[in-house]
């Protein structure tokens, strides 16, 4: 029989005070079981029109202060975030039958962190970051290929491609994190952590 935690939930929910620690436990399991991209999550934002918009991005770091992803700062998602600096994100790991939902406020990562991550990327990805006016309309693919070739000429030294100032990371500082495990007959298990202070979290069970 599966062991239970102090809430009577499956033992995978542990009994941790900080949800970032629990996130780390689940994420490490997902890295072993997902066939690809265990770090992929859906990012929902709301922009000026009031319409929500959702897309997948990749988690590149996480710590007590938040969940970090990188993108073009002039993209649709970044415009939304500049207008409304909150977001809701969702991980779904099919191999584990688990979901994690996180909501919070978003700030830009430091230039130092963005440079460190950008410099770890491949030459092609760095050039791609320069070439793509992400989310704006492209006449045809050749137009983009030409821009890529031009940037390859401009930055021909492979180890010396600066980070564009329009490309950086966003950090989601969570105020709620909900852990979900699939259950028999749709009696799923849900544990919500809600921020109660800088380093304090309250835990609640939710109806499935």
Ligand X SMILES: Cc1cc2nc3c(=O)[nH]c(=O)nc-3n(C[C@H](O)[C@H](O)[C@H](O)COP(=O)(O)O)c2cc1C
Q: What residues act catalytically?
A: 186
With a CB cutoff of 8 Å and minimum separation 6, the contacts of 2 are 10, 11
Q: Which is nearer to ligand X, 167 or 201 (CB)?
A: 167
Report the residue from 55, 63, 64, 158 that binds ligand X according to the rule CB under 6 A: 55
Q: How far apart are CA 95 and CA 38, in angstroms?
A: 10
State the nearest-atom distance from the C-beta of 41 to ligand X, in Å.
Answer: 9
Stretch that binds ligand X, among 20-28, 51-59, 168-176, 188-196 (CB under 6 A): 51-59
Closest approach of ligand X to the CB of residue 9, in Å = 29
Query: 22 or 43: whose CB is closer to ligand X?
Result: 43
Site string for ligand X, 18-47 (x = CB under 6 A): -------------------x--x-------
- # binding residues, ligand X (CB under 6 A): 15
Continuous H helices in 50-160:
76-83, 111-119, 123-131, 141-154
By CB under 6 A, the residues from 124 to 153 that bind ligand X are 134-135
CB of 169 to ligand X, least distance (A): 9
Closer of 124 and 208 to ligand X (Cβ):
124
Beta bridge partners of 192: 178, 204
Evaluate whether 109 touches 171 at the Cβ level (below 8 Å). yes
Contact 125, 167 (CB under 8 A): no
Instruction: Compute the distance between CA of residue 28 and CA of residue 9 in angstroms, rounded to an integer.
Output: 20
Nearest to 35 by CA among 93, 98, 100: 93
Helix (H) or strand (E) holding 181: strand 167-181
Minimum Å gap between C-beta 42 and ligand X is: 9
- Euclidean distance between CA atoms 87 and 176, whole angstroms: 11
Give whichever of 106 and 191 is closer to ligand X, judged by the CB atom.
106
**5 belongs to the binding site for ligand X (CB under 6 A):** no
Considering only residues 56 to 85 of the shown chain, the ones binding ligand X according to CB under 6 A are 56-58, 69-71, 75-77
φ, ψ for residue 78, nearest 5 deg: -70, -35
What is the binding site for ligand X (CB under 6 A)? Answer: 37, 40, 53, 55-58, 69-71, 75-77, 134-135
């Amino acid at each position: 029989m599966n062991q239970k935690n102090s809430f009577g939930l499956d033992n995978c929910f542990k009994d941790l005070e900080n949800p970032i620690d629990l996130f780390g436990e689940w994420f490490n399991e997902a890295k072993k079981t997902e066939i690809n991209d265990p770090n992929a999550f859906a990012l929902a934002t709301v922009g000026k029109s009031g319409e929500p918009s959702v897309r997948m991005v990749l988690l590149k770091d996480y710590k007590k202060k938040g969940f970090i992803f990188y993108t073009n700062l002039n993209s649709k998602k970044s415009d939304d975030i500049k207008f409304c600096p909150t977001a809701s994100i969702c991980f779904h790991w099919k191999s584990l039958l688990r979901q994690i939902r996180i909501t919070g406020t978003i700030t830009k990562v430091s230039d130092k962190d963005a440079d460190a991550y950008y410099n770890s990327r491949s030459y092609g990805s760095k050039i791609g970051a320069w070439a793509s006016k992400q989310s704006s309309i492209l006449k045809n693919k050749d137009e983009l290929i030409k821009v890529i070739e031009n940037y390859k000429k401009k930055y021909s030294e492979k180890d010396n491609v600066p980070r564009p100032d329009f490309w950086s990371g966003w950090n989601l500082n969570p105020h709620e994190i909900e852990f979900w495990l699939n259950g028999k007959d749709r009696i799923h298990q849900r544990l919500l952590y809600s921020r109660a202070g800088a380093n304090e979290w309250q835990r609640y069970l939710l109806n499935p």
